[in-house]
Structure 1
Amino acid sequence: MTLGLDTAVGDGPQGPDGPEVPVGGASEELPAGWARATLGELGEWFGGGTPSKKRPEFWTNGTIPWLSPKDMGPDVLAATQDLIHEAALDEAPVKLVPAGSVALVVRSGILERKVPVTYVPFEVTLNQDMKAVVPYRGIDGRWLAWAIREREQYILENCRKRGTTVASLEVPWLMSAEILVPPHEEQLRITAEVERQIARIQAGEAAAGAALLNAITLSEQVTTQGSRGCLEQVELFSAPLPKADVDDGPIPDLPAGWKWSRLGEFASVVGGVTKDSKRQDDPRYVEVPYLRVANVQRGQLALDNVTTIRVPPEKAETLRLKCGDVLLNEGGDRDKLGRGWIWGGQIENCIHQNHVFRARVIGNEIHPKLLAWHANGFGKAWCDRNGTQSVNLASISLRKIKLLPVPIPPREIQEELVKTIELHLQNVAVARAMAESALAHAQDLRASLLHAAFTGALVPQNPADEPASALLDRIRAEQQAKAPRKRTARKPRTAPPGQEELPS
């Protein structure tokens, strides 16, 4: 799969790894006609606010877009889902931002990894987690949006507040971030070329994304159909399953010799440990690693961040995981219910928390992989139907998970069936790896493109363009002229005019 980037990126001076001018203008020499400025010098900054939800008239028959972080796409405005009434503009926190602004998110969990920013061609209002900058005359808004994207890594490393619950940017630090400014005409040339190249990259990303989705879907089909013996054309028969007080939904037919059974009939299923914060200092307790919902993914275990817990020795012994145990999530987001995978003994003396079930197959009734694959496929919809939902948490009870219907194949075919499924998965994994590699390459192309664009290597400089230094001098002069004059404080008098004390 090819993700094209035209040779224009390499038109400027090249080193062995790309343009010689470092990112962010750290070099002593600037491209011809360029100058340095801070983001705060390039436009007027606007804050946001939320109209009162207690005033329905502010949110009825609205015509003014109200942007929040959810509306931001990777390169452009993804959507404008909320409209407010102009009456809301009378509220102090809500300000109308002129068309042609650059909006960016300054408070959101997404700031842990990226800074959403976009050019907005129409009038908008913003929520309190966003800022907008309206460029001064001579600064192209679309160029400025791309320039901020190019500085994303610098902003994340140098402008993000530390120690806050939700990731956020320190706006004064953001406004003081320095960028390189080309002449106005070159800004337009850069923007046109960047957007032409980005369109090509996006086309490649769309193809790679579709291929990745197809690979994921095919992988799920292989495990779901394979765990029911349906990878090949076989005759299917109705297999009985006694009713239980759960919603099983449609029960698929099975090949000859297969049967339906409920999880608790052939596996020991237990919940995990609940952390007792008040007794973590108990000297009798032992410290052991334990798995949380985040560690138990669909079809794999994520063990790069496993925490520890102190529990009674007998609890550590009872819940110690053994190779072949199938781990299934009890709670979390609704789409996480029942997802899981098999413990392979990667960590000694590891146990599991109360939001993770452990199913230990009794008497080799079923291969653990067949059980895990089935739980991740059929079990996903089954747990969704039978789970419960609180305000922030979905869960399924131990009693109910024991009633999960599971297809049991004849023992003599199970090993060969697992090998067949894994062979199909290996073939799908090749296609998935290619798609993931293409998407990663697209990110590299974006970085290279923006690096070239904002170090003067993407489009040629034109000596006839007005230098950026002259443009910035004009902007600074105009803003200084608009600034209110500071009144000089007078020295306080000790007596009214005309009544000053005379020396004695």
Structure 2
Amino acid sequence: MELPTGWAWARLGDLGVWYGGGTPAKNRPEFWMDGSTPWLSPKDMGPEVISATQNHITEAAVAGSAVRIVPSGSVAIVVRSGILERIIPVSLVPFETTLNQDMKAIRAHEGILPRWIAWSLRAFERQILRDCRKAGTTVASLATDALMDLRVPLAPISEQYRIVDAIEDHLSRLDAATESMAGAKRRIKPFTTSVLDRAALGASLATCSEQDAVDDSQHLLTGLSSKRFDYAALPPLPEGWFWRRSADVCEFISSGSTPKAHLMHPGNGDVPFLKVYNITQDGRVDFTNKPTYIDRDTHENQLKRSRVRPGDVLTNIVGPPLGKTAVVPEDHPEWNINQAIVAFRAGPEVQPEWLALVLRSPFVLSMLQKTAKATAGQFNVALSTCRELPLPVPPMDVQLALVAQSAELLEVSDRFAAQVASVSLRAQNLRRSVLRRAFTGSLVPQDPEDEPASALLDRIRAEREAQGAKPKRAARRPRKRAAPETLPPPSASSTHIPTDAVQQELPL
């Protein structure tokens, strides 16, 4: 791209002195016990400015390992981590520190703002992830040579201050709005939980109050035993409601099965074949997500017992997460399901929609989850457990009323969740727009009186040549550390470099 007048392209490796990291031997307690030297690792990254590290090492570790003291005011970047599949964590470090081997840090040369480097790394994040990734590594990593050779735009020092202040002003307001949306999003799940539980357990104000609950709602389970559920400990339900064993109110309860790979056909076929990812968290079947089909012969023979039809209620018994539940829609006359899904076919005493609502209820779901067996991080619920599961069953008219009432409330919740997602996406786009404008010179006006960035680079180059072409390597020996510095707030830059730039407002 064409740079504004006075700007210049610069190699990232030429903007400062770079530091690598290392991990002192974990089996040397003298390297770790009662250490006071910060040791920065990827788990500390996240904030724009690091306030502290979780781990510290001793001066003996600094002297006897590969770690080096990184000066205060440096910019730290993660260069090896699974998170590099998506983002590059970058943070300013306002105190002396050492680094984990998966980190690098740069101490900016005089005339280059550390914050300029930090925002450059964030602004060119996509390009770095595309062009600087190491090939063939099991854990996502950035190639050091490619990272050092990355060209970034460099503005005159005075304009660096103005741009960084403008970036942080715009993004601080955007971050406040984003945090507000995040708070709203956190409230959606408790609301949904309350709606489902209050409906499933008869606590809705439209049907009864707690005083109406009666103690004989378990009497239809008398004489029935279960190794997985304590029927006698179930909470009381409103008058006319009863706890029933699922096998007693369903025509059948059956799990699915999976045929050999060559019998499954992506995209087209005779009978739709549902997998867990086709059931959404908000209670729908989404067959647009990687649709798979089987042929009619497989459906009617090999997978005969896992056939389902519209109105059947599906829930997954393999997770995490458990509890994805939906009613089979009428898009096709017959469907089939894989072995991670159980189908409940409602009998005459329950509506399919009520059955689905109850199975989504956190109270009922928690009873299932407590019986799940964990294997290699996967949770599995037995089919026999699903048949013994106790379900609250109110009169049919109450079921219909509560299903309708809950649907209205959950629709409000779903609409709100969609709005939050839309605003969050817009905030991400605005953030990229701010950074794009900043590093193309259109966020604040240029000042023709500013010293060109090329003069700054020439000065840095001359200083390096005077020192022998390569920057002096920082010593590993421990030294007396200065008291931790506090980075100046964004507005403090104006006390060093005068500015009269007018910042444009970017609407949220």
Q: Tell me whether the two structures share a fold, i.e. TM-score over 0.5.
A: yes
Aligned residue type for 1:320? R
Instruction: Choose from 417, 421, 425 the match for 1:436.
Output: 421
Aligned residue type for 1:237? V
Pair 1:309–1:92, CA change in 2 (3 A): farther
Shift of 1:468: 0.9
Asked if residue 298 in structure 1 is aligned to residue 298 in structure 2, the reply is no
Asked if residue 381 in structure 1 is aligned to residue 354 in structure 2, the reply is no
Instruction: Choose from 356, 361, 370 the match for 1:372.
Output: 356
Aligned residue type for 1:318? R
Instruction: Choose from 461, 464, 469 the match for 2:446.
Output: 461
Match of 1:134 in 2: 107
Instruction: Choose from 416, 437, 444 the match for 1:452.
Output: 437
Shift of 1:472: 1.2
Q: Is 2:372–2:382's contact at 8 Å kept on the other side of the alignment? A: yes
Asked if residue 392 in structure 1 is aligned to residue 351 in structure 2, the reply is no
Q: Is the partner of 1:269 in helix, strand or coil?
A: strand
Residues in 2 aligned to 1:275 and 1:172: alpha-carbon distance in whole angstroms: 49
Q: Is 2:243–2:390's contact at 8 Å kept on the other side of the alignment? A: yes
Shift of 1:392: 2.8
Residues in 2 aligned to 1:395 and 1:483: alpha-carbon distance in whole angstroms: 65
Q: Is 1:330–1:397's contact at 8 Å kept on the other side of the alignment? A: yes
Alignment of structure 1 residues 104-183 onto 2, 5 Å: 104-161=77-134, 164-183=137-156
Residues in 2 aligned to 1:429 and 1:151: alpha-carbon distance in whole angstroms: 35
Q: Is 1:290–1:306's contact at 8 Å kept on the other side of the alignment? A: no
Shift of 1:271: 3.6
Q: Is 2:256–2:305's contact at 8 Å kept on the other side of the alignment? A: no
Match of 2:227 in 1: 245
TM-score (norm 1): 0.78
Asked if residue 405 in structure 1 is aligned to residue 382 in structure 2, the reply is no
Residues in 2 aligned to 1:248 and 1:35: alpha-carbon distance in whole angstroms: 73
Aligned residue type for 1:360? F
Q: Is 1:37–1:181's contact at 8 Å kept on the other side of the alignment? A: yes
Pair 1:110–1:266, CA change in 2 (3 A): farther
Match of 1:223 in 2: 196
Q: Is 1:71–1:81's contact at 8 Å kept on the other side of the alignment? A: yes
Pair 1:109–1:350, CA change in 2 (3 A): farther
Residues in 1 aligned to 2:10 and 2:140: alpha-carbon distance in whole angstroms: 26
Deviation per CA, 1:106-150, whole angstroms, max 9, x where unpaired? 233332322221111122333333322222222211221111111
Shift of 1:69: 2.8
Equivalenced residue count is 449
Shift of 1:321: 3.8
User: Quick one: percent identity of the two aligned structures?
Assistant: 40
Asked if residue 327 in structure 1 is aligned to residue 336 in structure 2, the reply is no
Pair 1:59–1:332, CA change in 2 (3 A): farther
Deviation per CA, 1:349-374, whole angstroms, max 9, x where unpaired? 764443x2312224244333333333
Match of 2:36 in 1: 63
Pair 1:340–1:86, CA change in 2 (3 A): farther
Match of 1:425 in 2: 410
Aligned residue type for 1:418? V
Residues in 2 aligned to 1:382 and 1:287: alpha-carbon distance in whole angstroms: 36
Instruction: Choose from 162, 166, 169 the match for 1:196.
Output: 169
Match of 1:269 in 2: 253
Pair 1:292–1:136, CA change in 2 (3 A): farther
Pair 1:225–1:477, CA change in 2 (3 A): same
Residues in 1 aligned to 2:44 and 2:259: alpha-carbon distance in whole angstroms: 38
Q: Is 1:299–1:373's contact at 8 Å kept on the other side of the alignment? A: no
Aligned residue type for 1:80? T
Residues in 2 aligned to 1:90 and 1:388: alpha-carbon distance in whole angstroms: 49
TM-score (norm 2): 0.78
Deviation per CA, 1:33-91, whole angstroms, max 9, x where unpaired? 21111212212233333333333443432323333333222644486323333333345
Residues in 2 aligned to 1:170 and 1:352: alpha-carbon distance in whole angstroms: 45
Structure 2: gaps of 5 or more residues:
267-271, 471-508
Residues in 1 aligned to 2:294 and 2:34: alpha-carbon distance in whole angstroms: 57
Pair 1:327–1:35, CA change in 2 (3 A): same
CA RMSD in angstroms comes to: 3.2
Pair 1:434–1:296, CA change in 2 (3 A): closer
Q: Is 1:205–1:439's contact at 8 Å kept on the other side of the alignment? A: yes
Q: Is the partner of 1:341 in helix, strand or coil?
A: strand
Residues in 1 aligned to 2:33 and 2:174: alpha-carbon distance in whole angstroms: 40
Q: After alignment, is 382-391 or 117-126 more displaced? A: 382-391
Shift of 1:458: 2.2
Deviation per CA, 1:322-351, whole angstroms, max 9, x where unpaired? 323333333334xx1333333336689764
Residues in 1 aligned to 2:338 and 2:23: alpha-carbon distance in whole angstroms: 39
Q: Is the partner of 2:21 in helix, strand or coil?
A: coil
Q: Is the partner of 2:9 in helix, strand or coil?
A: strand
Deviation per CA, 1:303-324, whole angstroms, max 9, x where unpaired? 4543759999333333234323
Residues in 2 aligned to 1:479 and 1:94: alpha-carbon distance in whole angstroms: 24
Match of 1:495 in 2: none
Q: After alignment, is 307-316 or 368-377 more displaced? A: 307-316
Aligned residue type for 1:192? D
Pair 1:202–1:413, CA change in 2 (3 A): same
Pair 1:122–1:380, CA change in 2 (3 A): farther
Pair 1:261–1:72, CA change in 2 (3 A): farther
Instruction: Choose from 11, 14, 24 the match for 1:51.
Output: 24
Aligned residue type for 1:172? D
Deviation per CA, 1:175-208, whole angstroms, max 9, x where unpaired? 2222111112222222222222222112111222
Aligned residue type for 1:324? G
Q: Is the partner of 1:97 in helix, strand or coil?
A: coil
Q: After alignment, is 322-331 or 444-453 more displaced? A: 322-331
Residues in 2 aligned to 1:221 and 1:201: alpha-carbon distance in whole angstroms: 31
Match of 2:504 in 1: none
Asked if residue 416 in structure 1 is aligned to residue 404 in structure 2, the reply is no
Shift of 1:99: 1.8
Match of 1:35 in 2: 8
Pair 1:164–1:32, CA change in 2 (3 A): same
Q: Is 1:39–1:178's contact at 8 Å kept on the other side of the alignment? A: yes
Pair 1:436–1:367, CA change in 2 (3 A): same
Q: After alignment, is 75-84 or 132-141 more displaced? A: 75-84
